[in-house]
Amino acid sequence: MGPWGVFFEGFLRNPVMVGSIVPSSRFTINRMLSRVDWDNCKLFVEYGPGVGTFCRPVLNRMRRDGMLLVIDTNPQFIEYLRRTIKDSRFVAVHGSAADVEDIVRAHGHEKADYVLSGLPFSTLPDGVGPAIAAATHRVIRKGGAFLVYQFTPKARSYMAKHFKRIDNGLEPLNVPPCFMWWGWKDEENEDAAAA
């Protein structure tokens, strides 16, 4: 089965967790990734990669000694990704984004430079979205960012509790059109919050 078939089957099996019928468009991918400083990105983490719509574009942009660590709760998607993406910089983990700190440490890193989320925040079980936003803020290094795309504004309210500066976007050429946010972990904001 091709990627669209695997994704659609994943949606039919678990519509609440997958949250979308088709993968993100190339317009969404290009806009989301356009804000990343690739020269200074050694660890890029992705939540909810699905069938890998973002994975290849990320790997195409990433430095040779970087790592793309993806985390998904759906074992079929993880198995598909491991089978189809053969790149030594790519690691696919079956698990929850809520455990990102342990997963990052288990792969030899203290911090992530960027975290990208395609999670369906509005349909996650109670408390999971806020917990993921908090853990993500802790795991990102100063100067890094949390990149989020979603069909509803829910995720932004979770991000705003931790990220003082959030840039907003909207991509109409996606099914359905989606919101985009880039939450920046600015050094000056973090130092002021810690003082």
Angle at 181 between CA 92 and CA 131, to 5 degrees: 60
| Member of 31, 45, 92, 96 binding ligand SAM (CB under 6 A) | 96
| Member of 8, 9, 17, 94 binding ligand SAM (CB under 6 A) | 17
Q: Peptide bond preceding 125: is omega within 30 degrees of 0, i.e. cis?
A: no
| Member of 6, 44, 53, 93 binding ligand SAM (CB under 6 A) | 53
What is the arrangement of strands in the sheet containing 178-184, beginning at the earlier edge strand?
Answer: 90-94, 67-72, 43-47, 112-117, 140-150, 178-184, 165-171
Query: Judged by CB under 6 A, does residue 121 bind ligand SAM?
Result: no
Judge contact between 85 and 54, C-beta under 8 A. Answer: no
Q: How far is the CB of 193 from ligand SAM (least distance, A)?
A: 26
Write the DSSP symbol of residue 169: E
Query: Judged by CB under 6 A, does residue 90 bind ligand SAM?
Result: no
Query: Judged by CB under 6 A, does residue 134 bind ligand SAM?
Result: no
Query: Judged by CB under 6 A, does residue 74 bind ligand SAM?
Result: yes
Comparing every residue's Cβ against ligand SAM, the nearest one is 48
CA dihedral 38, 39, 40, 45 (to 10 degrees): 30
Count of positions on this chain that bind ligand SAM (CB under 6 A): 23
Among residues 144, 137, 143, which one has the least CA distance to residue 159?
A: 137
d(CA 91, CA 93): 7
- Give the nearer residue to ligand SAM in terms of CB position, either 26 or 142: 26
Q: How far is the CB of 143 from ligand SAM (least distance, A)?
A: 24
By CB under 6 A, name the binding residues for ligand SAM: 17-20, 23-24, 47-50, 53-54, 71-74, 77, 96-98, 118-120
